[in-house]
Amino acid sequence: MKVRPQTEYLFTNYSGQFLSVNGLSHDRNVVCEQTGIDFDYRKCRRTYAQYLIDEGLPMDKLSVILGHVSTKTTEKAYARPRDDRVINEVIEKWESE
């Protein structure tokens, strides 16, 4: 099994270069055939965005990572903070005052 080299790109080919649309499509088809799961890269993107929000990454930084010009796009289309995280932040704020 080939191991992909470390790179700055999230999705790469085996030489560490950014995957083309054809490369992404090929990888998607391989995953679908081998697992029987209808794999969708957009779901990975949404999951990744939500994970970063849950870990406390500010919306303006997430927007940069996702390549959005405006944080409004990020806020509307991708990630919202979990309810329990927002409630805990409010409680922590009140207790610190």
C-alpha gyration radius of the chain: 18
45 with 92, same domain: the answer is yes
Question: Where does the pLDDT of residue 4 fall: very low under 50, low under 70, confident under 90, or very high at 90 and above?
Answer: very low
Provide the domain limits for residue 55. 40-96
Q: Which amino acid is at 91?
A: I
Task: Return the minimum-mean-pLDDT range out of 9-23, 28-42, 58-72, 73-87.
Answer: 9-23
48 with 86, same domain: the answer is yes
pLDDT reported for residue 14: 60
22 with 61, same domain: the answer is no
Q: Provide the domain count of the chain.
A: 2
pLDDT reported for residue 94: 92
54 with 25, same domain: the answer is no
CB-count burial class (<10 Å; 0-12, 13-18, 19+) for 76: exposed
